[in-house]
Structure 1
């Protein structure tokens, strides 16, 4: 217990704790492409996994327990020569203090994955310019998004440097002939996501993110959970200021989609202390209406 607490204190107070690297699992599914050479997809899977896990994204050399766990799952639905397209689910989690529970940081389904890839080619990241093939750009963008979310959950606004790099990658890739970057394509693009997070108007949501995790979840190990639950509820209630604009903000939508199951489970009991469950329920119905029947209406 003492050793674990010492590790946690180091992670929390050391500046390098907010510059974590990634430990990612990568899968590539191309089963929809009947007759296609499957070996190239196995090679792609390994190349991307090595690219993520072996690239020094922050300049820090860290041990495995310090790295952010992530999952990148490609589904390839089209191929023409060396150009591939499909979808990708990106997920990441962070540990909760003094527990075995891992809290979801991000769970995004990107439906505009389009890139060029030659089997066994060397994947290299260059944050200063577009790669020309879009694969490393997409992956690098999401790596820095994950690092940003993780850092924000441990330190207020701690992910700024990572989000700034993600925004630069996004800007480098715009107007280069690949979908999914430009904000003019719609509200759910990579460009719209990072621009929404970087915008000063989103700072209150990032504060919610920090309070929710650091002051709330990380104190849930206490026998009396009423206090951290109140902290989490108060953090969520701060989102009320966005109830008339959240539909146009991809970043807020992604936060709610990622956290919906967890939020429901936290308050799915009668031990909710001073939390005004009626107010919280109404806010969640407003901000995340698709979860009303399956979750919010089941709160007692």
Structure 2
């Protein structure tokens, strides 16, 4: 089977530990602003990296290879005094058993990043109340989102407690004067995303997410790939339940956007066993139309 698209090239242990902490790479890019004083952005980058990697998000102390590998990439496009705005890309991966491949868990671009920051200030997380400056709240929200997706990939609904924490952070932040949180801002706000994930109506998607990884990908590097491929395809076909509502469901869109390259690579083969490729292709065309020409129409 051809090598899949890889987000990060990193050392991988084959151990499938149920990781509960985060090992993050952080970048802050402010090149669009120009100017000679870039030190504040270097300091901000270090503060955020230390905040993510040194905070005990779950209360468990793990070695680095056991943690969820992630990437937080900030692009700062505006600044007025101590107020900054821009975007944030959050990515995370999880190991696949008996391979050197790491599967993308989340790949999200949040374009509504606004926060206040004073150089060298301590970033402190309090899950019970809004910080007042929005930076730690955004980071913490995505930290728990990453942990939730990681948990769901190893155990059925295994990320529930971390999704609950992300939802609490979202609720604390709503109506505090910072954009990107409120459900009334549309289906792609942080509040809409986490409320959709938690909604029992999406338990089917979360069940698919689990079987896709644990019963499918984790067995895909066995000599016989027919069984795992069938499990993955059957799971994906269950998403047909959402074909009339997916456009307004951020969680489904995020799953398909994150997994499109991987799904294409898995079935870009003449050896797909009992998978009905016509049905699978039609579903992908419906749920992920922007990839019709680049991916789904290329399937044999």
Q: Same fold (TM over 0.5)?
A: yes
Distance 1:272 1:91, change over 3 A: same
Q: What is the rounded CA distance, in whole Å, between the counterparts of 2:165 and 2:36 in structure 1?
A: 36
The residue that corresponds to 2:295 in the other structure is 295
Structure 1 residues 36, 177: CA separation in 2 closer, same or farther (over 3 Å shift)? farther
Q: How much has 1:25 moved relative to structure 2?
A: 0.2
Deviations 1:235-264 (A, max 9, x none): 000000100000010000000000000000
- Is residue 122 of structure 1 aligned with residue 118 of structure 2? no
3-state DSSP of counterpart to 2:107: strand
| Residue number in structure 2 paired with 1:254 | 254
Q: Does 1:284 align with 2:284?
A: yes
Higher RCO, 1 or 2 (CA under 8 Å, sep at least 6)? Answer: 2
Q: Separation in 1 of the partners of 2:33 and 2:183?
A: 30
Match of 1:135 in 2: 135
Which consecutive unaligned segments of at least 5 residues does structure 1 have? 12-16
What is the aligned partner in structure 2 of residue 14 from structure 1? Answer: none
Aligned to 2:90: 90
Higher helix share: 1
Partner of 1:51: 51
Tell me how large the CA RMSD over aligned residues is: 0.9
Partner of 1:70: 70
Cα deviation digits, residues 164-200 of structure 1 (max 9, x gap): 0000000000010100000111110100100000000
Corresponding residue pairs, total: 288
- Deviation per CA, 1:194-247, whole angstroms, max 9, x where unpaired? 000000000000000000000000001111101000000000000001000000
Normalised by the size of structure 1, how large is the TM-score?
0.95
TM-score of the superposed pair, with normalisation by structure 2: 0.95
- Partner SS state of residue 75, structure 2: strand
After superposing on structure 2, the runs of 4+ consecutive aligned residues of structure 1 that deviate more than 3 Å are none
Where in structure 2 are there 5+ consecutive unaligned residues?
1-12
Match of 1:197 in 2: 197
- Looking at structure 1, the residues matched to 100 and 25 of structure 2 have their Cα atoms a distance apart, in angstroms, of 19
How many Å separate the matches in 2 of 1:161 and 1:118? 32
Report SS of the residue matched to 1:111: strand
Residue-by-residue CA offset, 1:9-47 (whole Å, 9 max, x unaligned) = xx2xxxxx35x1000000000001022621000000000
